[in-house]
Structure formats: C-alpha cells, structure tokens
Amino acid sequence: MNFLRSLLFMAWFLALTLVMAILFLPLLALPRKATVWMARHWARTTLWGLEFFAGVRERRIGEAPKGAVLVASKHMSMWDTLALYLALDDPGIVLKRELLRIPFYGWYLNKAAAIPIDRGAGADALRRMTHAAEKVLAEGRPILIFPEGTRKKPGATPDYKPGVAGLYSLLDVACVPVALDSGRHWQGFHKYPGTITLEFLPVIPAGVKRRDFMARLETAIETATARLLAQ
C-alpha cells in the first residue's frame, strides 16, 4: 500500500513540476517576486499532494522567525526545503551551486531564493556567499542554511560544517536553530503516512564566539531532533 501511495505522489509531483515549469517560464523575465509567487504555489501544492496521496501531514512547534535572521536547520529530506521555504516567507537559501545547473528547477531556484556556494573555492566561496547573504538581509528577509551541508538519515552521526559559523560571525545576526523528523516519513521515493514535526528552537543571539556558537547550535538541533524521533 505504501508503495502505491508513494507512486501516486511521485506521479503527481512530476506532472505538477513539469506543467508549472513550462507554463510559468515567462516569469523568469519578470521581477523576482513573480518567480517567488510561482515557487510558493508549487511548494504548497506539492505538500498538499503529499498529504492527499501519501498521508504525510505537518505540525509546527514554535514560531517561524521573520525578518533579517539566520535560520539553521536539520536536513533529512526534500520536504525540509519545501516546508521551510513556506514557513519562512521568502527566505534566501544557501545551497550547492551545482543545483542551479539543473534545467528549469535550477533556473527558478536561482531567481527566487538561491545563495549559491562553491565548495571547492575555499575562503573565496565564503566571501561570495556572505555578500549574497548581506543583500538578502538588507531586504529584510531571513537566510536558511543546512549546517551539515547534506541530508542525513535519522539517527546518523551529525557532521556540522564550519560554514554556518563563518556566516553567522560575518553577518552579525541572531540564529534560529530548527529541528525536524522528516526522515521518518520521506525516504527518497518511499513515503510513509504520519505527521512530520518542524520545531523552531530558542534564538542564539548575535555575537557568540565561534566555538561556543557551534556547540550551542549542534546541541540544540541534535537534542531536539532526537526527542522528535523518539516520540
């Protein structure tokens, strides 16, 4: 039964994405807000299909931050990007530059939300990422980053990268940690019915020393994520 539900959702997702990507292609020539409008509708409709076909719902704990703030989230599945994009209301998203090379998807992503990072460019990559992030903050928008840099299976050993601390220090903004348990219900192709929890944790204020910041961030996210997975 789960296989059939997952198959129906995948068919919905692929059809929806293809139709919207082609139909709204002219939006890429318009101001960024037009692409944001389309992207939010795509994300919202995708998650509607996830609930309708696969029985996967969502609940939130805590209040999503608004304005110029850094949001650092656990990352287990594609669901995280969709749900946080909607919850944060037009964030800039730190992501791998390679994603922007994907036809259609990368074009829309680049226009709507991307703060790309080239992992092979070292310190220069951090400077370029910071410059792009400063523009997002100047517009009063939040920045979303996944500090481990990739998706992790539930219970996997955490691996927090130093880029999040560098960005936090250079931008001099508060950081909101986020815990979630999406990996229980979205596992690649397979979707399992249930409720995914997205939890916004207490703010880490600006100005915390780099080492202390990394320790506080990892402890907050991993402790809350373990609690969610144990429920």
Which CATH number characterizes residue 217's domain? 3.40.50
- How far, in Å, CA of 180 to CA of 205, rounded? 21
- Whether residue 24 is contained in a domain is answered as no
- Whether residue 206 is contained in a domain is answered as yes
Amino acid type, 73: S
With pLDDT > 90 as the criterion, what percentage of the chain qualifies?
A: 82
- Whether residue 163 is contained in a domain is answered as yes
- Whether residue 33 is contained in a domain is answered as no
**Cα–Cα nearest to 72, from 196, 197, 173:** 173
**Domain interval for residue 114:** 55-230
> What is this structure's pTM?
0.94
- Whether residue 64 is contained in a domain is answered as yes
pLDDT, position 122: 63
Number of domains composing the chain: 1
Indicate whether 130 pLDDT > 90: no
- How far, in Å, CA of 133 to CA of 70, rounded? 10
- Whether residue 29 is contained in a domain is answered as no
| In contact, 37 and 144? CB cutoff 8 Å | no
- Whether residue 182 is contained in a domain is answered as yes
| In contact, 42 and 117? CB cutoff 8 Å | no
**Cα–Cα nearest to 186, from 4, 1, 9:** 9
Across 52-78, average pLDDT: 96
Contacts of 83 (CB under 8 A, 6+ apart): 43, 47, 58, 180, 182, 196, 198
Indicate whether 75 pLDDT > 90: yes
* Mean pLDDT, rounded, of the chain: 94
- How far, in Å, CA of 71 to CA of 50, rounded? 25
